[in-house]
């Protein structure tokens, strides 16, 4: 089982980072719409720019395993904060499921914070 750990960590990093990288690039293509949604939810629209940076740069950091702990910590925080802001609605079961999914993804990122990106990463190659 230990021989599978590096591959499992690489697979986990790819799967967990992909959605944030893609989401960041999608936001670039529709900034006005996302800003409008953020403002509707009481979040200043200017926060779209740091949001895009965190999603793309944090996602890439986790994906390649360079400064992965920092990227993972930022994305874990992002998941919790955005989940509470956009999905906390106890009267709507689907929104609560989305909130709990955000929390679960944050938990996955915290494993990267604790364990690092693994051997099959830029940091892992350094030793």
Q: For the segment 22-50, what is each residue's pLDDT rounded down to a tens digit?
A: 999 999 999 999 999 999 999 999 999 99
* Triad 61, 82, 107: Cα angle to 5°: 55
120: DSSP letter: S
Band of pLDDT at residue 97, cut at 50, 70 and 90 = very high
pLDDT at 119: 95
Per-residue pLDDT, 1? 59
DSSP per-residue string spanning 24-63: HHHHHHTHHHHHHHHHHTT--GGGHHHHHHIIIIIHHHHH
**pLDDT over 90 at 102, yes or no:** yes
Cα-based angle 8, 99, 46 (whole degrees, multiple of 5): 100
Q: Give me the phi and psi of 81, to 5 degrees please.
A: -65, -50
pLDDT in tens, 46-63: 999 999 999 999 999 999
Q: Is the pLDDT of residue 18 over 80?
A: yes
Q: What is the pLDDT of residue 2?
A: 84
């Amino acid at each position: 089982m230990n021989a599978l750990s590096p591959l499992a960590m690489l697979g986990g990093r790819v799967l967990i980072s992909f959605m944030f990288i893609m989401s960041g690039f999608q936001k670039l293509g529709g900034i006005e719409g996302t800003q409008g949604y953020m403002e509707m939810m009481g979040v200043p629209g200017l926060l779209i720019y740091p949001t895009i940076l965190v999603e793309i740069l944090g996602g890439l950091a986790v994906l390649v395993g360079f400064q992965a702990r920092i990227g993972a910590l930022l994305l874990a925080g992002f998941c919790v904060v955005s989940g509470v802001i956009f999905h906390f609605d106890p009267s709507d079961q689907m929104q609560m499921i989305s909130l709990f999914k955000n929390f679960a993804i944050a938990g996955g990122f915290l494993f990267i914070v604790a364990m690092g990106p693994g051997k099959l990463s830029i940091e892992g190659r350094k030793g």
